[in-house]
């Protein structure tokens, strides 16, 4: 079982630059036994930080209509 | 900014009408993330389709006690985009890194409601040292690797990792504290 310090390092890396397959597997195997580390919590924190800096991004360029129609066409079929 | 009434619950329940509502509400956010973190418009279009398919299957995992729906959607989108970036071994050009490292307080989003996750994160970031703010912005917003940030800012790699770890943990704690306050400390 990886140490809590190692798991935190992996969670931070996943939330910022991503993980290679072997480290991703290591994290996925260890996390169910470490609910105290919060699972997705650091990814959510990183998403909140992204949104904090996203001053104009969401308004700068709307999603293309053709892409929207494609996704609507699939509906929940890909679920 | 008030969040929609559990739009993701409707998606999880298979409500087809919720698909359009999700695209209307989150489409521009996901598109802007994809444009920022992919190399081309075609890559962005592929990524956005993957992200929404992921969203349909992951909607049931949304926990309103942890984050807003917007933050949850941004998390799913970022995770998939970061994974694509890592696999493609492409990153934003290094020459843009130094300019992006300059921190202005106006960089932080002021146009959000007080209770929003982003506003909480922005308030927390403003309390960090400038060097910590630079590292967090470059990694989380600009999408640079830890090593490229260390090289550009001439910091030890361990310092970059420590700044990121401490910064994200503080934001996490701020989000948890607000959740606890809004639920009466339960």
More confident residue, A35 or B135: B135
The answer to whether the Cβ–Cβ distance between B139 and A41 falls below 8 Å is no
User: Do residues B124 and B179 both lie within one domain?
Assistant: yes
The answer to whether the Cβ–Cβ distance between B28 and A62 falls below 8 Å is yes
- Structural domain range at position A64: 4-78
The answer to whether the Cβ–Cβ distance between B67 and A48 falls below 8 Å is yes
Domain boundary among B90, B122, B140: B90
Write the secondary structure of B47-103 as one string of H (helix), E (strand) and C (coil).
HHHHHHHHHHHHHHHCCCCCCCHHHHHHHHHHHHHHHHHHHHCCCCCCHHHHHHHCC
**A78 at B interface, C-beta within 8 A:** yes
Work out the number of other CB atoms within 10 angstroms of the CB of residue A57. 19
Out of A20, A49, A53, closest to residue B171 by CB: A49
Q: pTM here? A: 0.87
Instruction: For A15-44, write each residue's pLDDT tens digit.
Output: 999 999 999 999 989 888 777 777 899 999
User: Do residues B107 and B84 both lie within one domain?
Assistant: no
Q: From B133, B132, B128, B127, select the one nearest B104 (Cα to Cα).
A: B133
Provide the ipTM. 0.89
Q: Give me the sign of the Cα torsion angle B176, B133, A54, A61.
A: negative
User: Do residues B145 and B185 both lie within one domain?
Assistant: yes
Q: For chain B, give percent helix, strand, coil, nearest 5.
A: 70, 0, 30
Supply the CATH number for residue B182's domain: 1.10.10.10
Q: Give me the sign of the Cα torsion angle B7, B10, B14, B16.
A: negative
- Structural domain range at position B165: 93-186
Tally of domains within chain A: 1
User: Do residues B134 and B122 both lie within one domain?
Assistant: yes
User: Do residues B57 and B110 both lie within one domain?
Assistant: no
User: Do residues B125 and B174 both lie within one domain?
Assistant: yes
Supply the CATH number for residue B71's domain: 1.10.1740.10
pLDDT of res. A1: 78
Taking residues B73-87, report their average pLDDT: 93
């Amino acid at each position: 079982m990886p140490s809590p310090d190692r798991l935190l390092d992996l969670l931070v890396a996943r939330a910022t630059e991503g993980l290679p397959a072997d480290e991703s597997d290591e994290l996925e195997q260890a996390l169910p036994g470490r609910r105290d580390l919060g699972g997705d919590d650091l990814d959510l924190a990183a998403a909140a930080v992204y949104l904090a800096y996203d001053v104009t991004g969401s308004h700068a360029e709307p999603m293309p209509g053709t892409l929207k129609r494609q996704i609507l066409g699939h509906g929940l079929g890909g679920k | 900014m008030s969040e929609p009434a559990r739009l993701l619950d409707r998606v999880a329940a298979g409500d087809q009408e919720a698909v359009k509502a999700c695209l209307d509400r989150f489409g521009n956010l996901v598109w802007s993330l994809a444009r920022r973190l992919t190399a081309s418009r075609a890559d962005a279009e592929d990524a956005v389709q993957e992200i929404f398919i992921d969203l349909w299957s992951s909607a049931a995992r949304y926990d309103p006690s942890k984050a807003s729906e917007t933050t949850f959607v941004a998390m799913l989108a970022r995770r998939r985009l970061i994974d694509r970036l890592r696999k493609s071994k492409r990153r934003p050009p290094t020459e843009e890194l130094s300019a992006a490292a300059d921190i202005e307080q106006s960089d932080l989003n002021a146009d959000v409601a007080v209770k929003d996750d982003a506003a909480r994160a922005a308030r927390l970031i403003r309390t960090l040292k400038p060097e910590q703010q630079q590292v967090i912005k470059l990694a989380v917003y600009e999408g640079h690797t830890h090593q490229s940030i260390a090289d550009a800012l001439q910091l030890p790699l361990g310092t970059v990792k420590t700044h990121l770890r401490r910064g994200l943990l503080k934001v996490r704690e701020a989000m948890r504290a607000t959740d606890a306050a809004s639920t009466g400390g339960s």
